[in-house]
Amino acid sequence: MIVGEQKPFDEIWDMVKGHKQLTVFGCNTCVSVCHQGGNKEAEILASLLRMRASQEDVEIEISDGGIERQCEHPFFDKVQETLRKSEAILSLACGIGVQFTAQKYMSTPVYPALNTTFLGDVPAEGFFTEKCQACGDCILGITGGVCPVSRCCKRLFNGPCGGSSDGKCEISKDVDCAWQLVVDRLEALGKLDDYEKITPIKDWSKDRAGGPRSFKLEDF
């Protein structure tokens, strides 16, 4: 899922403090799982902003709300009126939701309350880790189900580099060496010999490098 982290409160305040009215708008799917951007977080953030406005003697009317997903039209139906009347929107969605909302309300400023950080999993409660960079050409089938694009800091296709030490990456003892994990997994699968197959040069045109990507279902 998409993981995001709320921006520093001062940065959020600086973006919105010039408005007279603001709707703090949650997105209750991906970024609510990490307790950063759901409708509940929108309510809390709105309260904090009201307190700040009061402390600084700034006149700004702040309401809050949210929908299940800010990246699809149908979910907006029930909030059309609220958003249309808003002077500004502070979106707690990922970057996708912020853009989708901004595109729907062309003359309304839409600000991001979150930094969209990565595509990740939840290996333990309250802990999120990056697992995918949506590179567009998955090679997990040959790397034992461990992604070197997102998990090796040099995204090596034929790792590990010389900086792998005790299972950790050269950049930090807190970061697992992805290629140690690949090797461990290949060994567990009885496929360690596959390590010696050279992974060919990647076609990055399927990645961000090829420009914005899209695909269309023919039946629709």
Residues that bind other proteins (CB under 8 A): 153-167, 170-171, 177, 180, 183-184, 192, 195-196, 198-202, 204
**Shortest Cβ distance from residue 112 to other proteins (Å)?**
20
Cβ neighbours of residue 201 closer than 8 Å, sequence gap 6 or more: none
Q: Which is nearer to other proteins, 112 or 160 (CB)?
A: 160
Rounded to whole angstroms, the Cα distance separating 163 from 174 reads 14
- β partners of residue 119: 2, 132
**Shortest Cβ distance from residue 136 to other proteins (Å)?**
15
**Shortest Cβ distance from residue 118 to other proteins (Å)?**
16
What number of other Cβ atoms are within 10 A of residue 215's Cβ?
Answer: 4
Terminal Cα distance for the chain, rounded: 25
**Shortest Cβ distance from residue 161 to other proteins (Å)?**
5
CA torsion sign, 190 to 203 to 198 to 180? negative
Q: How far is CA 150 from the centre of its chain?
A: 13
**Shortest Cβ distance from residue 141 to other proteins (Å)?**
18
Q: Is the peptide bond before 160 cis (omega within 30 degrees of 0)?
A: yes
Q: Which is nearer to other proteins, 26 or 159 (CB)?
A: 159
